[in-house]
Amino acid sequence: MAEKKKKGTRRANGESAIYFGKDGRWHARVPMGYKDNGEPYRRHVTRPTREELVDEVRRLEKQRDAGSARQPGKPWTVEKWLWHWVEDIAKPTVSENTYDGYEVAVRVHLVPGVGKHRLDRLQPEHLESLYRRMQANGARKAGTAHQAHRTARTALGEAVRRGYVAKNAAALAKPPRMEEDESEVEPYAVEEVQRLLLEANKRRNSSRWMLALALGLRQGETLGLRWADVDLDNEYLKLRRNRLRPRYKHGCPEASPCGRKAGYCPDKMQARRETKNTKSRAGRRAVPLPGPLVAMLRAHAKTQERERKTAGDLWTESDYVFTKLLGGPLSPNTDYHDWKRLLEDAKVRDGRLHDARHTAATVLMLLGVPDRVIDQIMGWEPGTSASMRARYLHVPDAMLKDVAKKIADAIWGPPETPSVDKNQDNGG
């Protein structure tokens, strides 16, 4: 920082210039870096007194040196930053499914709700008001607001890291409280699993549901399974990839569009790959196959071969274990609706497909399978396996009653057997 010098002298690079103007105010030119085109960028500030100006110059220089100064051009709005973050920062670095969740939260909730605010003026109260409106309009579940909250927190965290804002408003905001019935999971009882398996045996791709209920495989893992990953002779399978939800784009000519959504276009084309590799080392794992499942998969392979011969030229060749009637991978959406019909036909209470995974984890616990083996079968990371077991392993009511009885016997002693009155027994 330096006063304006006499003609013929030059300031050092990065040095601020302070001078008294003809308007009777103090002025400063503070070098703040460079524009996108490489030109130097200086901030012009003015104050009525020199002391006030020096304080402001020092504040700007501190921001500049810390890399947190606002860049030239119009300040970010929340809308502009969210779209830049989700398309240019998040999309190239996260999975397709994660991007989809971010994009929906940004497009449907965050931009309409708080997009007009300046990024550096967004307050926690603005987000908390949005969460309340989301629940009031259409009685949205707290989980939807939580998704928007998590997206905002991640996006604003990146803005803080890059120095565009000083605080993360979403990290300070209070998300809506999750109701117990939105987060509580009740695994299926053994009797319910048996009814589901009996009903599944009547259906095509029946072993698909066996893998979910017996081994807890995720939907994407099961639908992305290929025969090359299955070793029936040695009774195990390898999980390496996940099936992605399909996304389509129009294939019809721009001059004569079909007028439908891309997914219903007669000439639709795939806009994303079918599968992706599992993102973690724990997800890439070998899983043992129980004997009955090996027999079912052998039978399934023979059925699939008959379907291939029957379809002839109409068959879409692929190596997927579970396919559509004419070959090709199953759609996760179709698979979800098949699960709902299976529950209904088996007369089993409604539940998420993910509840089958909780059921399998609980069964493994009840069988006394070692924790390390459970972690491998479920695909849990070593650092998080303990917390995941706490979330996924549920103690059935029968086990709780047995524990309660043991506690009662230990503290109060076994219940006394009622004595028989011999006189009454003899009729006297």
User: Among residues 43, 285, 357, 358, which one is catalytic?
Assistant: 357
User: Among residues 133, 150, 276, 354, which one is catalytic?
Assistant: 354
Q: Any catalytic annotation for residue 249?
A: yes
Contacts for 165-174: CB closer than 8 Å, 24+ residues apart = 165/119, 165/120, 165/122, 166/68, 166/120, 169/122, 169/123, 169/124, 169/126, 169/127, 170/124, 170/127, 172/124, 173/124, 173/125, 173/127, 173/128, 173/131, 173/149, 174/124, 174/128
Q: Any catalytic annotation for residue 320?
A: no
> CA 262, 277, 215 angle in degrees (round to 5)?
100
As a whole number of angstroms, the distance between CA 173 and CA 180 comes to: 21
Q: Any catalytic annotation for residue 218?
A: yes
Query: Facing residues of 30 across strands?
Result: 43
As a whole number of angstroms, the distance between CA 63 and CA 25 comes to: 24
As a whole number of angstroms, the distance between CA 147 and CA 155 comes to: 12
User: Among residues 249, 272, 298, 405, which one is catalytic?
Assistant: 249
Q: Where are the beta strands (DSSP E) in 48-171?
A: none
Q: Are strands 2-3 and 17-20 parallel, antiparallel or unpaired?
A: parallel
Position 100: which residue type?
D
Q: Any catalytic annotation for residue 29?
A: no
Q: Any catalytic annotation for residue 62?
A: no
CB neighbourhood size of 181 (10 A)? 7
Tokens 């998080």 correspond to what residue? Answer: 384
User: Among residues 43, 149, 218, 268, which one is catalytic?
Assistant: 218
Q: Any catalytic annotation for residue 380?
A: yes
- Residue 99 has phi, psi (to 5 degrees) of -60, -45
Helix, strand or coil, per DSSP, at residue 220: helix
* Distance linking the first and last C-alpha atoms of the chain: 115
Q: Where are the alpha helices (DSSP H) in 312-348?
A: 332-345
Contacts of residue 67, Cβ cutoff 8 Å, sequence gap at least 6? 163
CB neighbourhood size of 211 (10 A)? 24
Active site residues: 218, 249, 354, 357, 380, 392
